[in-house]
Amino acid sequence: MTDARRPLLVGALVAAVVALVASGAVAVGALSGGVGPGRHGFLAGSAHDAPKLPGTVVTVSLRNMGGPMMGGQGSTMMGRGSMGLIADHATVPHGTVSFFVTNDGSINHEMVVLPLADSQAAGTRPIAGDGRVDETGSLGEASKTNGEGAGEGIVPGASGWMTITLAPGHYELVCNLAGHYRSGMFTELTVT
Ligand SMILES: [Cu+2]
């Protein structure tokens, strides 16, 4: 270690102490103040802000190992791999279908609806060199944080949603971020 770095270290130490004191003050304030106006902010953007969605609503949970939903349940909560895409419906009637998709993991995820041939099983799509599957024929996706439709991905703890019209048939719900399909982020949806 050189002498030149010492002032930096001292500075960092002072900053850390200041931060500690500041956080302590906040904690004390929260304890004595009870429910303050800032409290509600913790829920902003969470599933509690679910919009009213038309048609049959399919609720989807996106998960990965290490996410908050993992607590003690092990891989049974996850599906088939270290990541999972869990829907509360395996079958829905044809017509208007809405998806309310919550990221219960610790990294960004998304949900894309792809057609599934009768002869094809979910999870068997070829995976390209970039770790993703072909999205040809996609019927739509929920990949916007706290919003509808396509976006840059749903951040941990947030939700995205979309509404589409589905004809009878088989579909696959996937997360197509690099490597996520391979890790288990797919499930089949049958439309009757
Ligand atoms: Cu994912």
Looking from the CA of 146 toward its CB, the CA atoms found within 13 Å total: 9
85: CA distance to ligand 1 center in Å? Answer: 8
Note whether residue 25 is domain-resident.
yes
Number of structural domains found in the chain:
2
Confidence of residue 49 (pLDDT cuts 50, 70, 90): low
Domain assignment present for 15: yes
The pLDDT of residue 39 is above 90: no
The distance in angstroms from the start CA to the end CA of the chain is 69
Residues 6+ apart with CB under 8 A from 181: 123, 125, 127, 131, 132, 133, 174, 175
Average pLDDT, the chain: 80
Domain assignment present for residue 42? The answer is: no
Spacing, Cα 39 to ligand 1 middle (Å): 30
What's residue 51's pLDDT? 84
CA of 28 to the centre of ligand 1 (A): 38
Distance 182 CA to ligand 1 centre (A): 10
Q: How far is the CA of 45 from the centre of ligand 1 (A)?
A: 19
Distances (CA, A) of 151 to 48, 140, 160: 20, 11, 9
* Residue 30 lies in domain: 3-34
Domain presence at residue 78? yes
Residue 33: predicted pLDDT: 36
Identify whether 19 is part of a domain.
yes
Q: What separation in Å is there between the alpha carbon of 32 and the centre of ligand 1?
A: 41
Which residue has better confidence, 125 or 13?
Answer: 125
Between 16-30, 39-53, 120-134, the lowest mean confidence (pLDDT) is in: 16-30
Same-domain status, 119 and 183: yes
Higher pLDDT, 139 or 44: 139
Distance between Cα 6 and ligand 1 center (Å): 43
pLDDT digits (tens, 9 = 90+) for 142-184: 999 999 999 999 999 999 999 999 999 999 999 999 999 999 9
Could you tell me the distance, in angstroms and rounded to a whole number, from the CA of residue 34 to the centre of ligand 1? Answer: 38
Q: Name which residue leads in pLDDT, 192 or 40.
A: 192
Span 79-119, pLDDT tens digits? 567 999 999 999 999 999 999 999 999 999 999 999 999 89
Q: Which CATH number covers residue 69?
A: 2.60.40.420
**Given this model, what pLDDT does residue 69 score?**
63
Confidence class for position 78, pLDDT limits 50, 70, 90: low
Q: Residue 101 has what pLDDT? A: 98
Is 164 in the same domain as 91? yes
> Looking at the domain assignment, is residue 40 inside a domain?
no
Q: Which pLDDT score is estimated for 17?
A: 40
Q: How far is the centre of ligand 1, averaged over its atoms, from the C-alpha of 191 (Å)?
A: 23
Task: Check whether residue 51 and residue 98 sit in a common domain.
Answer: yes
Same domain, 8 and 88: no
